[in-house]
Structure 1
């Protein structure tokens, strides 16, 4: 864990309970009465006067909301490059730990939990606070009740660099080396996997940003996988910018939930559910099998819209050596696949690091077997060798 200050006036800090993109959470006791609490110490590099003022303002707003699904904030403080806040200490695990240890949740349990979470998020939105970092790791069980933590703590993300916590200015070796794989997501994936497109672009966030994260969290609870699960940052940036939201039904989940995820994770904020409460209603309706068609505005691929997605994908993809084009699946299904990316790799197995060939835009490959989920396809090369390629990069039509 990253080194941070370990003295907070009025509190005795003990062992770290966890660390994330914004700070380290410690078990602590309040000296005045011995009460057991949790103290989050924000990473110093994120702290400036503007951030500290916003943290205090949002903590006051959060404290004014009485909802059993929200972790209460008791105090906020700090000077210079220090910022910390004192919260309820909960004994239960977070939902990411449940997924890591036990796999996907039963549908009825996932629906019940996330509907409660959405109600808590809706209450906080009504108070004018946006979470910005909603994900399974920030939903903690208090007994059997899911409780949302870290509301208003995550810094508003102004760039891809600040959002990922990576040094993209030249300090990262993968930038200088030009390796095509780019950086491995690793622990960083727990945050960026649930980030809405507007956060990647550095645009202002809104309640719709949290609705997107609710959709991604629903997908994870139902399938045990992260949305757009990719090994590298360039691959993830491309998926968020260009690919349709993932479908839970591809992993054996009832198809009614596909529409909920698809609407919540729409690329444009205006195309998502208008509130977290509306998301919860749609979620319960899907569980009951009572799903009315949702009419979503279909936005054409105008030059302006293409430019917005290129603003996300192009810098990351070019840096990572994976310059990609917009892919479109046609109604015709030719027997051969075409490489639609500038360059793509063929590997000896799905998600393997062993590359057996590099193919280029326009090359033709022959599909051998059905896709592994929606991510990989088994192909035969023109020289007779076979391997696996990401379906993002090889399609029936480009």
Structure 2
């Protein structure tokens, strides 16, 4: 990722500055009043997420939600491990274990069939492990999946949900709408089933270079019409190489959650069988 300096409040977040004992080495992303950094403390490399203390309430709640999910996950791979919470000047922050690798978007070019065959099942297995630990990710995208050789890491749990908490928590979550499950048209909470749809959509995009749902001109991506559009059938070179893969995508991208695979482990096994 590219190196960049500074943050929206300009205090204590310039590369080389020290934030509560952590020396900032790289900035990876700023979105609104939230930033993500690589930092060092002694000989340990960590990820820092910071938020302006004066940020709007829903941004504070999203950070609280991410912290709550990381606490539930604990030592469970493939998520980062929560190391420390703190306040430094005008910012609150938390430190996480560093997740090596690059994003799925950067690691594997679309339409690379051999590359797809290497990463598809490990990605599904990573989400299966997440769900077994009691968390649905929510905002599945190619940016939030990290590939390090054959290892897969997942990051950015702001929009996650603990699967033991069935009731609507009222949190205003953010999603990558091009991959989001149809049930989000009814503003349902993330679930293993909605993650499954989004993972299948991400893998479809990675394999074909296209989103599984056709983009409709003049229609907002978070509208019911856009979210409930029928997914494309898999065609072309991927279908010729792996004829059974079409049915795998058709099932995982079903509009009704009950028509999808029973869980991510089942999807992983179906993918493995189709790819051979």
| TM-score bucket of the superposed structures, by smaller chain | 0.7 to 0.9
Aligned match for 2:230, one of 238, 244, 265:
244
Query: How far 1:113 moved relative to its partner?
Result: 1.3
Taking the TM superposition and a 5 Å limit, the aligned residue runs for 1:119-268 are 119-150=125-156, 152-154=157-159, 163=174, 191-228=176-213, 230=215, 234=219, 236=221, 237=223, 240-249=226-235, 251-254=236-239, 255-268=243-256
Partner of 1:364: none
Q: Measure the CA separation in 2 of the matches of 1:229 and 1:76.
A: 42
Partner of 2:8: 3
User: Measured at CA, do residues 98 and 241 of structure 1 come closer, stay the same or move farther in structure 2, by a change above 3 Å?
Assistant: same
Query: How far 1:282 moved relative to its partner?
Result: 1.0
Query: How far 1:25 moved relative to its partner?
Result: 1.7
Query: How far 1:240 moved relative to its partner?
Result: 3.8
Indicate the structure whose relative CO is greater, using CA pairs within 8 Å and at least 6 residues apart: 2
User: Measured at CA, do residues 80 and 195 of structure 1 come closer, stay the same or move farther in structure 2, by a change above 3 Å?
Assistant: farther
After superposition, what is the alpha-carbon deviation per residue over 1:2-22, rounded to whole angstroms, capped at 9, x for unaligned?
Answer: 726755433222331234689
Q: Is the 8 A contact 2:181 2:194 kept in 1?
A: yes
Structure 1 alignment gaps of length 5 or more: 165-190, 289-398
Taking the TM superposition and a 5 Å limit, the aligned residue runs for 1:58-73 are 58-65=69-76, 67=77, 69-73=78-82
Query: How far 1:281 moved relative to its partner?
Result: 0.8
After superposition, what is the alpha-carbon deviation per residue over 1:335-375, rounded to whole angstroms, capped at 9, x for unaligned?
Answer: xxxxxxxxxxxxxxxxxxxxxxxxxxxxxxxxxxxxxxxxx
Query: How far 1:235 moved relative to its partner?
Result: 5.3
Query: How far 1:220 moved relative to its partner?
Result: 1.3
The normalised TM-score by structure 1 is: 0.54
Q: Is the 8 A contact 1:22 1:154 kept in 2?
A: no
Q: Measure the CA separation in 2 of the matches of 1:116 and 1:200.
A: 29
Q: Greater shift after overlay, 203-212 or 80-89? A: 80-89
Q: Find the residue that maps to 2:135 and give its secondary structure.
A: coil
User: Measured at CA, do residues 92 and 51 of structure 1 come closer, stay the same or move farther in structure 2, by a change above 3 Å?
Assistant: closer
Aligned match for 1:277, one of 265, 268, 273:
265
Q: Which has the larger radius of gyration?
A: 1
Partner of 1:105: 112
Q: Measure the CA separation in 2 of the matches of 1:134 and 1:218.
A: 11
Q: Measure the CA separation in 2 of the matches of 1:141 and 1:228.
A: 25
Size of the aligned set, in residue pairs, is 251
Q: Is the 8 A contact 2:87 2:93 kept in 1?
A: yes
Q: Find the residue that maps to 1:248 and give its secondary structure.
A: coil
Query: How far 1:239 moved relative to its partner?
Result: 5.4
Query: Does residue 28 of structure 2 align to residue 40 of structure 1?
Result: no
Q: Measure the CA separation in 1 of the matches of 2:169 and 2:64.
A: 17
Structure 2 alignment gaps of length 5 or more: 1-5, 14-18, 162-167
Aligned match for 1:96, one of 80, 100, 105:
105
Q: Measure the CA separation in 2 of the matches of 1:229 and 1:85.
A: 38
Aligned match for 1:28, one of 39, 46, 64:
39
**What's the C-alpha RMSD, in Å, of the aligned pairs?**
3.3
Q: Measure the CA separation in 1 of the matches of 2:32 and 2:264.
A: 24
Q: Measure the CA separation in 2 of the matches of 1:51 and 1:202.
A: 16
Aligned match for 2:28, one of 11, 17, 31:
17
Q: Is the 8 A contact 2:126 2:152 kept in 1?
A: no
Query: How far 1:138 moved relative to its partner?
Result: 1.0
Partner of 2:16: none
